[in-house]
Chains A and B, each alone.
Chain A
Amino acid sequence: MADYEDTQAGHGHGETRRDFLYLATGAFGAAGSAIALWPLIHQMSPARDTLALATTEVDLSPIEQGQSITVVWRGKPVFIRRRTEDEIKEAQAVELDDLPDPQTDAQRTKKPEWLIVVGVCTHLGCIPKGQATGDRKGDYGGWFCPCHGSHYDTSGRIRKGPAPENLPVPTYEFLSDDLVRIG
């Protein structure tokens, strides 16, 4: 009853207890709804079993110099190329100024012989050509993405075309000379 009289008394004065209660209730409701919304949004992020598939081990012993293999890591192709001397030299000789996304070859490899990159074009996600022997490897001897014409060099760096970045290097570790763990 007291409240009722208070609000009556406050009427016409601009700010009243009722205004405060409206605001407080509204703010409480909004904050509560926002918190309740989060699980509904976050359920769409990768689930735990999806995340659990996040590492892949690869045996490197069967790969000859000049050969490439494709392995699957987190559902994406990863290109592993055992580069020839010429390819390594070519990759190391490039001036950084010539690169749209400047990175030295040393920053992109742990052992110069092994180039390991995610084989997904950084433009819109197509798989570049260049893994199979007969493939078009592009103007820089690495990979060529047919979707919108991006050329990558022997270090997986973007050289020409719409892709903005180099092929990403996944986190990986040499467990021994012949065994690498990706992820």
Chain B
Amino acid sequence: MTQPWMKNRLVQWVDYRLPMFSFMEKELIDYPTPRNLSYWWNFGSLAGIVLVIMIVTGIVLAMHYTPHVDYAFDSVERIMRDVNYGWLIRYIHTNGGSAFFIIVYIHIFRGLYYGSYKSPREILWILGVIILLCMMATAFMGYVLPWGQMSFWGATVITNLFSAVPIVGDIIVTWLWGGFTVDNPTLNRFYSLHYLMPFVIVGVVALHMISLHQHGSNNPLGIDAKGPQDKIPFHPYYTVKDMFGLCAFLTIFAGFVFFAPNFFGEPENYIPADPLVTPPHIVPEWYFLPYYAILRSITFDIWFLSAKLIGVVLMFGSILILFLVPWLDRSPVRSARYRPIYKQLFWVLVIDCLVLGWVGGNPPEGIFVVIGQIATLYYFAHFLVLLPLLSFIETPRPLPTSIAEPVLGGSGGPPAAAEQPMEKAQ
């Protein structure tokens, strides 16, 4: 389907030398997409748009922010009070961080539910996990920049995790800090890296997209497209759907920015950092709470391994384990719709993660310790025991023969169907 503007002489002149118009036409307009994608497929493009919002607001904040321990807190307050629309830009950036994580977590659980990590999308999945890790590093370092009490003590506790590394732990921590505590050198390097990392994310996102477009999107049925009748062009069907989702998101987002801008925040961070006074209760940002719960759930040594080291290893392991999911889950069926047991375990995992988050936000005392330990155990058991086991014991329900079949009724038929709209589909 050649677009009318492709006939424009100037467009053709440029395209002959730099094929950006044909690229757009191929990947954004004609791009064949399963006809049955649900709203769970909106979160990928939404994440991309939020990334752009973060970069734009971040660059603007950087024009007014001073990365020095004596001025950082005041420069952020100045952004809030004196800089024109500074409050708006900062609140968009701050709440944008939270929105980014909500969106990406939904995006990841979507992938887990519909088996989107299975062949041939393993690398696509791995790139996604890398993006998650980069986002976490970016958000962690960004949170240090306003140099409030939580900034400082969060940075102290998290960088101290590396002291659990046997033998070289203390050397690593001193190297990370550039001194003997979290101090000005630490703030400076975090600022430099906080500026850099989002652009690294842009790069990995580009690879993520290339890998996606190689085989196209998975879909709620989890079966491959059988022919052109199973796909529709991306534009206008999904451009419109993504725009609609974006509007819905922006409405909710604006609600937070304008009416509850500190909903996700921590009041303690409006107190300037004091290296000599630890706040009574240190909590990370909400999106790190499940990992924090895993970290603190280990209260006992095992053999020569200290509780601290095991906690740290499990905390990082809880994310690294996602890299292995395509190989831990051996079931040939992708979508949980046709996997009666997996479908239930999926929801148990969701609840487990929420429980971990709740435990992470509470002091590590009494019943919370026990709940945290059980939830941590279950988290790892889900991936290491239940997933591999399921592949053997679960009988999947029969799959539909094509994507079009449940939509149009009757058999989807072979790819020969000539009068269908998608002449370009693979």
- What residues make up the interface of A, taking CB atoms closer than 8 Å to B? 41, 44-47, 50, 70, 72, 74-77, 123-127, 145-149, 162, 164
Binary contact track B154-166/A, C-beta < 8 Å → 1, others 0: 0011011100000
Residue from the list A44, A46, A75, A124 in contact with B275, Cβ < 8 A: A75
In chain B between 38 and 95, which residues have their CB closer than 8 angstroms to a CB of chain A?
none
Residue from the list A44, A77, A124, A125 in contact with B176, Cβ < 8 A: A44
Binary contact track B274-301/A, C-beta < 8 Å → 1, others 0: 0111101110000000000000100100
The 10 closest A-B pairs by CB, nearest first: A74-B180, A75-B181, A125-B160, A126-B278, A124-B160, A124-B157, A127-B278, A125-B156, A50-B179, A46-B179
Q: How far is the CA of A147 from the CA of B150 in the complex (A)?
A: 13
- Residues of B contacting A41 in the complex (Cβ-Cβ under 8 angstroms): 175
In chain B between 175 and 212, which residues have their CB closer than 8 angstroms to a CB of chain A?
175-181, 183, 185, 189
Q: List 30 A-B contacts (CB under 8 A).
A: A44-B175, A44-B185, A44-B189, A45-B174, A45-B175, A46-B177, A46-B178, A47-B178, A50-B179, A75-B180, A75-B181, A75-B275, A76-B180, A76-B181, A76-B275, A77-B275, A77-B276, A124-B308, A125-B156, A125-B159, A126-B153, A126-B156, A126-B278, A145-B278, A146-B278, A146-B280, A149-B364, A162-B307, A164-B307, A164-B308
Which of the four size classes fits the interface of chain B?
20 to 34
Residue from the list A77, A147, A164 in contact with B282, Cβ < 8 A: A147
- What residues make up the interface of B, taking CB atoms closer than 8 Å to A? 153, 156-157, 159-161, 174-181, 183, 185, 189, 275-278, 280-282, 296, 299, 306-308, 364-365
A147 touches B178 (CB 8 A): no
Nearest-CB distance from B133 to chain A (Å)?
A: 20
- Residues of A contacting B181 in the complex (Cβ-Cβ under 8 angstroms): 74-76
- Residues of A contacting B275 in the complex (Cβ-Cβ under 8 angstroms): 75-77
- Residues of B contacting A164 in the complex (Cβ-Cβ under 8 angstroms): 306-308
- Residues of B contacting A127 in the complex (Cβ-Cβ under 8 angstroms): 276-278
B365 touches A126 (CB 8 A): no
Nearest-CB distance from B101 to chain A (Å)?
A: 23
- Residues of A contacting B306 in the complex (Cβ-Cβ under 8 angstroms): 164
B178 touches A45 (CB 8 A): yes
Nearest-CB distance from B150 to chain A (Å)?
A: 13
Residue from the list A70, A75, A148, A162 in contact with B179, Cβ < 8 A: A75
Residue from the list B185, B308, B364, B365 in contact with A47, Cβ < 8 A: B185
- Residues of A contacting B365 in the complex (Cβ-Cβ under 8 angstroms): 149
Residue from the list A50, A72, A148 in contact with B178, Cβ < 8 A: A50
Nearest-CB distance from A70 to chain B (Å)?
A: 7
Nearest-neighbor residue (CB-CB) of A131 within chain B:
B276
* Besides A50-B178, A75-B275, 5 new A-B residue pairs in contact (Cβ under 8 A), listed by A number: A41-B175, A46-B174, A77-B275, A77-B276, A147-B278
A123 touches B308 (CB 8 A): yes
- Residues of A contacting B308 in the complex (Cβ-Cβ under 8 angstroms): 123-124, 162, 164
Q: How far is the CA of A136 from the CA of B157 in the complex (A)?
A: 21
- Residues of B contacting A162 in the complex (Cβ-Cβ under 8 angstroms): 299, 307-308
- Residues of A contacting B299 in the complex (Cβ-Cβ under 8 angstroms): 162
Nearest-neighbor residue (CB-CB) of A145 within chain B:
B278
- Interface centre among B179, B282, B307, by most A CB within 10 Å? B179
Nearest-neighbor residue (CB-CB) of B155 within chain A:
A125
Residue from the list A44, A47, A74, A124 in contact with B156, Cβ < 8 A: A124
